[in-house]
Amino acid sequence: MLKRKTFENGFQYLEVKNSAASAKIALQGAHIFEYKRKAQGELFYLSETSDFALGKAIRGGVPICWPSFGLNNPDLPQHGFARVFLFEYISSSEMNATTTQLVFGLNDSAKTLSLWNYKFELRFIVTISDTLTMELQTLNKDTKEFTLTQAFHSYFKVSDISNIVLSGLDTKPCFDTLTKKNTLQNGDITVSEEFDKVFQEVDTILTLQDKDKIITIQNEGSSSVVVWNPWVEKCKRMNAMQDDDYREFICIESANAFEDFVVVKPNETQILKTIIL
């Protein structure tokens, strides 16, 4: 079942339900802000004070950072512009009783060209079932190559940040954005203070273990992963976030970040893909 819905302020989203899962996806940013498996409940954190308004980023779910992650491109807004632009809903397919696939698109326009002077075709393909598959396809329609950094900025809902263990990044090189130092990860990750690291050379499946669930994350088309939690003081300063919300999520972001950038030549397509089981 697929329904197009609208908040009172005119903000539009699609609601999808099948026998395995349900999801809500905003047309702005093709942003998944809710995904529930029948057997597991809500997968993503969503701030209770998040804005659902045109031009404002949603705090939680899966923001799409494109064509720049963070401030990799200082000429663009933080995390690029795709997350606050309206995507076109292109199609949906009921593949079977448990699987629904939707396609969203964003093309270059006068507004995008004023920010980033390249012609492109962006397609976001999301498959909703007892697994969630997200695929971002970037086609270079220009006559010149461009450099791309990007991410699925996934906010995973947790029982409490003190309960989680993230494995799969042991011995991976990483850049700590708080200390500005390059290090190697030693062991599994637990969080007891502000945490913001970009891991490189990631070629393994990640496992997030919580008190009552285990989530696995498999990435294709990238080798960098960002792990982030703002902790107490930064959480208090952030927009659309309550003071203790840091306890409710861990961001594990499938990315092409920093040195894992992608050069896309004319008529080439680059694909970033994440499967969450």
Q: Is 153 a catalytic residue?
A: yes
Given the residues 153, 193, 220, 233, the one annotated as active site: 153
Strand ranges for 50-97 from DSSP E: 64-65, 88-96
Cα 186 to Cα 177: distance, rounded to the nearest angstrom? 17
Contact between 142 and 132 (Cβ < 8 Å):
no
What does the longest C-alpha to C-alpha distance in the chain come to? 51
Long-range contacts of 205-210 (CB under 8 A, 24+ apart): 205/168, 206/166, 206/167, 206/168, 206/169, 206/252, 207/166, 207/167, 207/168, 208/156, 208/158, 208/164, 208/165, 208/166, 208/250, 208/252, 209/164, 209/165, 209/166, 209/167, 210/158, 210/159, 210/163, 210/164
Q: The tokens of 177 are what?
A: 């954005």
Which residues are known catalytic residues?
Answer: 153, 253
